[in-house]
Homo-oligomer: A and B are copies of this chain.
Amino acid sequence: MSRSHEQPPLDRTPLDEPGFERDLARLAKALGHPARVRILRFLLSRDTCMCGDIVQHLPLAQSTVSQHLKALKDSGLVQGTIAGPRVCYCVDRQVLGRFRDLVGRLQPCLEGDPDCRSPLDQEVEP
């Protein structure tokens, strides 16, 4: 199909369909709270997994931290596996890399990228 003859694909289409916008928004929303940024940084600092002594590094109650961890898990940025009595969390670097990629794809022309197409034509490739 010759896309260039039609209207750009973002015209009034629903906002919560799978694709670039929804995926980027979900990942960004997951990082849209400083507590979750800190959790991610903490998990990345030990590149091995670490269990919920994350709580020791946050000025929040344990239940609140658990909620933030759930948000991070729902976004896919963090995985949790049961390891005996405790739970072992670790960052899914694939997903984090995808987030970085989506953000970078937002602004392809910042530093004179040669193959710099309009961001409207750039969709996700699953």
Contact = CB atoms under 8 A, between A and B. Distances in A.
B120 A45 contact: yes
B97 A10 contact: no
B11 A37 contact: no
Interface residues of A, number: 51
Contacts of A8: 45, 57
Interface SS of chain A: helix
B96 A14 contact: no
Contacts of A12: 56-59
Interface string A28-68: 11111111111011101101000000001111100000000
A33 B28 CA distance: 8
A119 B44 contact: yes
Nearest to A59: B12
Closest 7 CB pairs of A and B: A29-B32, A28-B31, A15-B34, A21-B34, A32-B32, A25-B34, A21-B37
Interface of A: 8, 10-16, 20-22, 24-26, 28-38, 40-42, 44-45, 47, 56-60, 91, 93, 96-97, 99-100, 103-104, 106-107, 109-110, 118-120
